[in-house]
């Protein structure tokens, strides 16, 4: 795909590189990259891929911007809270590089659309933060024979690898099975250093550029471990395991412990206020940590989600219970947990969007 005169100027620093040159830049322009997740990893990945001159970026994300995202998702601003992440990023990227085509898919990446989305791209980038998505993305890439650039972050640590590259190892070759509920970290309560997210996302973008242009050594068959605490880097080598690498159909992916359960129980803050003022049988439960409650709250009993099971007897025998948290995710998990522990007939609600939307 030929470059225009303006593109020659725009990508001058790429073209000056002997390893890239005009041919490499034309490969970037001709490429289509699927980025699943427009959050912490997705922001730097998309920003640098658009700047690099990727011809077509497809962004899959169903979520909206929340105030807690701004600590690490640097393409968003305070005024974007409540807006579609994918649509906000589309506008940002077009302003950065109008030569880059941006397509947004405002839905979850699931079994229904996975193969269709993966089949039409050159490279897939996993920017998600939950296990079910990671295994689903891997399996779709294996079936459609597409390279997958994957990263993850927890606290001060990051991991990076490229899977299914030129028939190389897959995600399941190093992580054959998803963790159990007890082993999986609580995605809503474990913190992360924002700058580490930026580092890992930028490195993902670098691997994508290498795959498309064919330069350098792609991080296939190696897992790069980075510790932000002491800036140490370590590589772990792993081989392809045919027992778990041969996938022909998508399976069931019900092992995500950060997914939101049935959202029909969600109610907005106005409805919460009306229920509390008109119905004496309502109990309000704040499932955030104590330090979060010190910042702001709307009343009720404070029982952190991690303590809910052992303190369930502290919840009054009300006809209606409203759970709330910071973003609305832990409160939905609280409903799921309460239902599993208490068989009493009670109406359960969750404050939609949590304190961030009040």
Question: What CATH number has the domain bearing residue 298?
Answer: 3.40.250.10
Q: In sequence order, what are the residues at sequence separation of 6 or more whose Cβ sits closer than 8 angstroms to the Cβ of residue 347? A: 319, 320, 321
Q: Looking at the structure, do residues 40 and 159 belong to the same domain, yes or no?
A: yes
Q: What is the mean pLDDT of the chain?
A: 90
Q: Looking at the structure, do residues 215 and 341 belong to the same domain, yes or no?
A: no
Q: What is the mean pLDDT of residues 100-117?
A: 94
Q: Looking at the structure, do residues 114 and 168 belong to the same domain, yes or no?
A: yes
Q: Which stretch of DSSP H or E encloses residue 189?
A: none
Query: For residue 31, with 0-12 CB atoms within 10 Å meaning exposed, 13-18 middle and 19 or more buried, which class applies?
Result: buried
Q: Looking at the structure, do residues 288 and 353 belong to the same domain, yes or no?
A: yes
CATH of the domain at 101: 3.40.50.720
List, in sequence order, every residue forming a beta bridge with 283; answer none if it has no partner. Answer: 321
How confident is the model at residue 339, as a pLDDT? 85
pLDDT of residue 200 exceeding 80, the answer is yes
How confident is the model at residue 343, as a pLDDT? 65
Provide the 3-class DSSP secondary structure of residue 187: coil
Please give the residue range of the domain that contains residue 297. Answer: 263-357
Q: Looking at the structure, do residues 197 and 267 belong to the same domain, yes or no?
A: no
Q: Cβ distance 157 to 195 under 8 Å?
A: no
Q: Looking at the structure, do residues 124 and 192 belong to the same domain, yes or no?
A: yes
Question: Could you give the CA distance from residue 201 to residue 208 in angstroms, rounded to a whole number?
Answer: 11
pLDDT of residue 239 exceeding 70, the answer is yes
0.85 exceeded by the pTM?
Answer: no
How many residues make up the chain in this entry? Answer: 358
pLDDT tens digits, 297-356:
999 999 999 899 999 999 988 889 999 999 898 999 899 888 888 767 789 999 998 998
198 inside domain: yes
Q: What is the mean pLDDT of residues 224-250?
A: 91
Q: Looking at the structure, do residues 296 and 150 belong to the same domain, yes or no?
A: no
17 inside domain: no
How confident is the model at residue 254, as a pLDDT? 61
- Percent of the chain having pLDDT more than 90? 70
251 inside domain: no
163 inside domain: yes
Q: Looking at the structure, do residues 73 and 183 belong to the same domain, yes or no?
A: yes
Q: Looking at the structure, do residues 177 and 205 belong to the same domain, yes or no?
A: yes
How confident is the model at residue 257, as a pLDDT? 47
Q: What is the mean pLDDT of residues 86-109?
A: 96
Q: Looking at the structure, do residues 194 and 285 belong to the same domain, yes or no?
A: no
267 inside domain: yes
pLDDT of residue 258 exceeding 70, the answer is no
pLDDT tens digits, 115-173:
999 999 999 999 998 888 999 999 999 999 999 999 999 889 999 999 999 999 999 99
Nearest to 108 by CA among 140, 141, 74, 61: 61
| Domains in the chain, number | 2
Q: Which stretch of DSSP H or E encloses residue 316?
A: none
Q: What is the mean pLDDT of residues 82-109?
A: 95
**φ/ψ (deg, to 5) at 136:** -65, -45
14 inside domain: no
* pLDDT, greater one: 342 or 176: 176
How confident is the model at residue 186, as a pLDDT? 47
Q: pLDDT band at 203, cuts 50/70/90? A: very high
257 inside domain: no
How confident is the model at residue 190, as a pLDDT? 66
Q: What is the mean pLDDT of residues 65-73?
A: 88
Q: What is the mean pLDDT of residues 55-69?
A: 91
How confident is the model at residue 183, as a pLDDT? 54
Torsional sign, CA 55, 60, 65, 69: negative
How confident is the model at residue 180, as a pLDDT? 58
Q: Looking at the structure, do residues 225 and 287 belong to the same domain, yes or no?
A: no
Q: Which of 198, 216, 245 is the last residue of a domain?
A: 245
347 inside domain: yes
């Amino acid at each position: 795909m030929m470059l225009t005169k303006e593109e020659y100027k725009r990508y001058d620093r790429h073209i000056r590189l002997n390893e890239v040159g005009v041919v490499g830049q034309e490969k970037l322009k001709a490429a289509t990259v699927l980025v699943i997740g427009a959050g912490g990893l997705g922001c730097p990945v998309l920003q640098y891929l658009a700047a690099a001159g990727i011809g077509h970026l497809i962004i899959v994300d169903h979520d909206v911007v929340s105030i807690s995202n701004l600590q690490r998702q640097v393409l968003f601003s305070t005024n974007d809270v409540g807006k579609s992440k994918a649509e906000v990023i589309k506008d940002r990227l077009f302003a950065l590089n109008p030569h880059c085509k941006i397509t947004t898919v405002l839905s979850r990446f699931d079994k229904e659309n996975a193969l269709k989305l993966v089949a039409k791209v050159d490279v897939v980038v996993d920017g998600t933060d939950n296990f079910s998505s990671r295994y689903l993305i891997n399996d779709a890439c294996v079936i459609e024979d597409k390279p997958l650039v994957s990263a993850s972050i927890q606290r001060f640590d990051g991991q990076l690898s490229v899977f299914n590259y030129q028939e190389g190892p897959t995600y399941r070759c190093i992580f054959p099975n998803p963790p159990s509920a007890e082993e999986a970290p609580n995605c809503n309560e474990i913190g992360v250093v924002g700058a580490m997210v930026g580092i890992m996302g930028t490195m993902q973008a670098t691997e994508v550029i290498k795959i498309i242009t064919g330069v350098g050594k792609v991080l296939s068959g190696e897992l790069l471990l980075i510790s932000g605490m002491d800036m140490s880097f370590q590589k772990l080598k792993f081989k392809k395991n045919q027992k778990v690498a041969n996938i022909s159909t998508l399976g069931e992916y019900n092992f995500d412990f950060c997914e939101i359960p049935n959202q029909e129980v969600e109610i907005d803050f106005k409805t919460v206020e009306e229920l509390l003022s008109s119905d004496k049988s309502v109990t309000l439960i704040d499932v955030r940590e104590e330090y979060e409650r010190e910042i702001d709250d709307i009343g009720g009993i404070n029982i952190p989600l991690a303590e809910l099971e052992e303190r369930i007897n502290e919840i009054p025998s009300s006809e209606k219970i409203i759970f709330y948290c910071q973003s609305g995710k832990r409160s939905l998990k609280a409903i799921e947990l309460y239902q599993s522990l208490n068989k009493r007939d009670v109406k359960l609600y969750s404050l939609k969007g949590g304190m961030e939307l009040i």
